């Protein structure tokens, strides 16, 4: 643990690293929890807990943490796929009728 004298100092201390995978905030103030969670440059911020998450939540860090994307959840989809749109006319019309 590190001590600090103000919220702005706590944010500066938390962000003074090349890494940004996760951070934990412990406070009794919801206002402080929201401010810290928004301003800390980490991919995951837990408040009054740690190690939370499941397959439905994105996982990944900022800065030098992670691979530049998000793993798990629907946000991981684009990391492993290429989106393509294909339209196929399955009616009984012939190609000649379709082109007319």
pLDDT 10s digits, 37-96: 999 999 889 999 987 777 777 778 788 886 656 677 777 777 777 776 777 778 888 767
pLDDT bracket for residue 30 (50, 70, 90): very high
Considering the entire predicted model, what is its pTM? 0.68
The residue ranges of DSSP E strands in the chain, in sequence order, are: 19-20, 22-25, 44-47, 62-63
Neighbour tally for 90: CB within 10 Å? 5
């Amino acid at each position: 643990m590190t001590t600090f004298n103000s919220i702005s100092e706590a944010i500066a201390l938390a962000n003074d690293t090349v890494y940004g995978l996760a951070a934990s905030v412990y406070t009794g103030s919801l206002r402080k929890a929201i401010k810290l969670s928004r301003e800390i440059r980490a991919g995951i911020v837990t408040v009054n807990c740690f190690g939370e998450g499941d397959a439905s939540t994105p996982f990944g860090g900022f800065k030098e943490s992670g691979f530049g994307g998000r793993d798990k959840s629907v946000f991981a989809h684009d990391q492993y796929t290429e989106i393509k749109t294909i339209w196929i006319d399955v009616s009984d019309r012939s190609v000649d009728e379709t082109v007319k």
